[in-house]
């Protein structure tokens, strides 16, 4: 990692340690309780992940802008909603120094202790494969010196789903249960927390690992191989075929197969942790 990139990374890591105090009460609840209208009615927030993610972004934005100013960077927002990244940090003294920062939020899985729902890490489509493309990206991918995820892992509060249709008065503010809480923040270069599987259905999105301990430590499947392997794999995802022992041709869609195909060291592939449901205790 270059000095400029490492300096930015260290500053970002220090910054995220301060964020919980801005959005969390002393007992770990989200300080956002709902939407208020001019009649002082408060409407509960939906626990839908897209709604929660957007409000979290809005809630944190003033702190992000203040942080950027403090370290000598300007923040450029994407021109369109589906553009990458969420935030472009540009050095005020040298505009060729740019960093991509994507805001990522995900919730802990109740049925799988130690795991989160995961998240996507951007497209592996046109702008990823052609590093000078301007399609769906604020600046060409190759213009960024680093690509980071600023992540938030939270727990969903049980029982709040049924309260989504409720309306409260302003005087009841303190008694409203937040829909989420128990926040953990992290910063990682996105290749370090990447999976070798697509992150969402039929779209060309890179998936993440899901074991929380590994996310926080940056121990994704590429973490021992390096960023060049991450780039090579996802630029060619689903495009390379190989013949099995029975002579059938299939696409390469696992990192182990890809590293073997490229003649690399497959022992450097970090296995993904498997989600295992806790065993039910037998009565008696």
- Catalytic machinery residues: 86, 102, 104
Contact between 78 and 37 (Cβ < 8 Å): no
Q: Is 176 helix (H, G, I), strand (E, B) or coil?
A: coil
Contact between 127 and 165 (Cβ < 8 Å): no
List the structure tokens of 187: 């910063």
Contact between 218 and 196 (Cβ < 8 Å): no
Q: Alpha-carbon torsion 224, 228, 231, 236, what sign?
A: negative
Alpha carbons 199 and 106: distance in angstroms, whole number: 13
Contact between 114 and 277 (Cβ < 8 Å): no
Residue labelled with tokens 């995220």: 16
**Alpha-carbon 84 to chain mean position:** 13
Alpha carbons 70 and 28: distance in angstroms, whole number: 28
Helix axes 255-262, 227-235, angle to 10 degrees: 100
The sheet with strand 194-198 has its strands ordered as 120-123, 205-208, 194-198
């Amino acid at each position: 990692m270059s000095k400029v990139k490492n300096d930015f990374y260290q500053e970002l890591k220090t910054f995220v340690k301060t964020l919980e105090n801005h959005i969390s009460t002393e007992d770990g609840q989200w300080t956002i309780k709902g939407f208020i209208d001019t009649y002082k009615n408060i409407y509960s927030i939906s626990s839908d992940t897209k709604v929660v993610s957007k409000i979290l972004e809005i809630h944190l934005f003033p702190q992000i802008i203040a942080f950027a100013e403090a370290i000598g960077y300007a923040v450029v927002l994407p021109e369109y909603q589906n553009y990458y990244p969420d935030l472009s940090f540009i050095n005020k003294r040298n505009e060729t120094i740019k960093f991509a920062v994507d805001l990522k939020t995900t919730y802990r899985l109740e049925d799988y202790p130690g795991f989160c729902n995961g998240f996507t890490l951007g497209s592996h489509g046109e702008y990823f494969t052609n590093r000078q493309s301007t399609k769906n990206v604020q600046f060409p991918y190759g213009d960024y010196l680093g690509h980071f995820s600023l992540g938030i892992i939270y727990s969903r509060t049980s029982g709040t789903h049924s309260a989504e249709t409720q309306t409260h008065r302003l005087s009841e503010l303190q008694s409203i249960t937040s829909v989420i809480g128990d926040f953990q923040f992290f910063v990682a270069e996105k290749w370090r927390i990447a999976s070798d599987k697509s992150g969402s259905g039929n779209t060309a999105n890179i998936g993440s690992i899901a074991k929380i301990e590994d996310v926080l430590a940056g121990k994704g499947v590429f973490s021992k191989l390096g960023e060049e392997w991450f780039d090579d794999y996802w630029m060619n995802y689903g495009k390379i075929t190989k013949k099995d022992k029975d002579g059938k041709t299939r696409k390469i869609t696992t990192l182990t197969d890809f590293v073997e195909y490229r003649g690399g060291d497959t022992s450097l592939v970090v296995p993904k942790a498997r989600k295992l449901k806790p065993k039910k205790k037998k009565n008696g």
